[in-house]
A = this chain, B = another copy of it.
Amino acid sequence: MTSSNSYRVPGFLANGVHAGIKADGRPDLAMIFSTSPATAAGVFTTNCFKAAPVLLDLERIRSGEAQAVIANSGVANAATGAEGFADALAVSRTASGELGIPDEMVLVASTGVIGHRLPLRKIQEGVKGLVAGLHDDGIPAAEAGIMTTDRFPKIACRNAVVGSKEITLCGIAKGAGMIEPHMATMLAFIMTDADIEHNALDRVFRQSVDHSFNAVTVDGCMSTNDTAIILANGFARNPRIKKGSRHLGRFAEMLSSLMSELARELVRDGEGATKVIEITVEEARTLGDAQRVAYAIANSNLVKTAFFGGDPNWGRIISAAGSAGIPLPVDQVRLFFEDVPVFSGGKGVAGREAELAGVMNKTQIRVRLGLGMGRRSWTVFAADLSFDYVKINAHYHT
């Protein structure tokens, strides 16, 4: 498996344009398109208030096939009722008409202000240029079209040889919070030319989401629009990857690696984030216990502000872990900042201040909590909590 800097996947075209949804002239409409029907899988927000595009995709993804994704930024088309659903359908129809493919083969996604209708006429106008400009090196343009408060684009690619054929995986993603003021949503679109059976794709994609996007947190909030989609068009002509085939593990590893890279980039670009905290909870009795304790730490505002302030405040981490609702054997618990022990045997470890000062100056910091209860572990990547987070999310008005 190698990383790649050329953002091309055989059989995929992409593009991004400014359709006039955003007032500032930045790109706000994006498309990825497979020149032939692709195997498709998707993971969507579990929020009860699912945005219209999510509701439409949930219907369509069941077929296991898709050929295009059209996404807009600026307006989320969430909390817009039946009218919003009709708008999502209208966007899809405009795209399928322009592409000349069955409408059911189009998936849609939106990110932006909640509670506003899409500017349908602008989008319908914009789709023409979007489709006309589709090209095989258009992935960065598509990424630009889905960014909201993102400070930098998130694109990652992987190549590997499967059964003497080279396969390629590229993904784009936008964050980053949940969320800008109303600018809800994590979106990720992954393209691959691998030939892979639908059931196998669906399974490894869900697992990869769990270990990547579901293992990062900026503010613990889940959006109405979160969407991750993968399209696999088989252009690589590799021996078909199936459940139980020896290539599936390799493909899953590539996919997880790619998505983890995108997920870490989301955190690094989290709203106001100045540091990425890698929190590993190990020696848990169950995976669920490890996750619960890890998220209790990762979403603690006291922990997050301490990291922002550069304070090696292990007391807050211990306190957050202890309030996760899982009985912990206090005397067995050990906490490390990088490899420096800070808590052990029920009390703090004295005399490591100089080493800790060095650790706290880093922009990515590993924290490791051993529970002394079992063998399961979980890692979550979290952003710190800064003045800028408050500024971005408070100083914006509807």
Is there an interface contact between B396 and A385, defined as CB atoms closer than 8 Å?
no
Q: In the complex, A184→B300 CA distance in Å?
A: 14
Interface presence of A313 (CB below 8 A): yes
- Closest residue of chain B to A329, judged by CB? B48
Of the residues B78, B115, B219, B395, contact of A309 by C-beta under 8 Å: B395
Tell me how far the C-beta of A335 lies from the nearest C-beta in chain B, rounded to whole angstroms.
10
Q: In the complex, A391→B385 CA distance in Å?
A: 10
| Total contacting residues, chain A, CB less than 8 A | 70
Chain B residues with CB below 8 A from A389, complex form: 301, 305, 390
Q: In the complex, A326→B385 CA distance in Å?
A: 28
Chain B residues with CB below 8 A from A121, complex form: none
- Closest residue of chain B to A224, judged by CB? B319
Which residues 366-394 of A have a CB within 8 angstroms of B?
385-387, 389-391, 393-394
Task: Report A202-236 CB contacts with B as 1/0, cut-off 8 Å.
Answer: 00000000000000000111111000000000000
Interface presence of A7 (CB below 8 A): no
Is there an interface contact between B393 and A315, defined as CB atoms closer than 8 Å?
no
Is there an interface contact between B393 and A47, defined as CB atoms closer than 8 Å?
no
**Contact (A316, B84) CB under 8 Å given A330-B48, A391-B387:** no
Which residues 208-267 of A have a CB within 8 angstroms of B?
219-224
Q: In the complex, A328→B222 CA distance in Å?
A: 15
**Contact (A302, B178) CB under 8 Å given A323-B221, A347-B84, A395-B309:** yes
Interface presence of A49 (CB below 8 A): yes
Is there an interface contact between B347 and A80, defined as CB atoms closer than 8 Å?
yes
Chain B residues with CB below 8 A from A320, complex form: 221
- Closest residue of chain B to A319, judged by CB? B224
- Closest residue of chain B to A48, judged by CB? B322
- Closest residue of chain B to A45, judged by CB? B323
**Contact (A305, B393) CB under 8 Å given A49-B319, A311-B181:** yes
Task: Report A305-341 CB contacts with B as 1/0, cut-off 8 Å.
Answer: 1101111111110111111001110100000000000
Of the residues B79, B346, B387, contact of A315 by C-beta under 8 Å: B79
Chain B residues with CB below 8 A from A76, complex form: 315
Chain B residues with CB below 8 A from A163, complex form: none
Is there an interface contact between A397 and B311, defined as CB atoms closer than 8 Å?
yes
**Contact (A347, B81) CB under 8 Å given A221-B301, A315-B114:** yes
Q: In the complex, A302→B82 CA distance in Å?
A: 26
Interface presence of A348 (CB below 8 A): yes
- Closest residue of chain B to A384, judged by CB? B394
Chain B residues with CB below 8 A from A45, complex form: 323
Q: In the complex, A336→B390 CA distance in Å?
A: 24
Chain B residues with CB below 8 A from A199, complex form: none
Is there an interface contact between A346 and B178, defined as CB atoms closer than 8 Å?
no
**Contact (A311, B343) CB under 8 Å given A223-B319, A387-B391:** no
Task: Report A287-306 CB contacts with B as 1/0, cut-off 8 Å.
Answer: 00000000000001110011
Known pairs A48-B328, A80-B348 / 4 extra A-B pairs, C-beta < 8 Å? A115-B348, A221-B302, A301-B389, A305-B394
The 9 A-B residue pairs with the shortest CB-CB distance, nearest first, are A114-B315, A309-B394, A81-B347, A305-B393, A48-B322, A115-B348, A49-B322, A222-B323, A47-B322
Report A's interface with B, CB cutoff 8 A.
45-49, 76, 78-84, 113-115, 177-179, 181-182, 184, 219-224, 300-302, 305-306, 308-316, 318-323, 326-328, 330, 343, 345-348, 353, 385-387, 389-391, 393-398
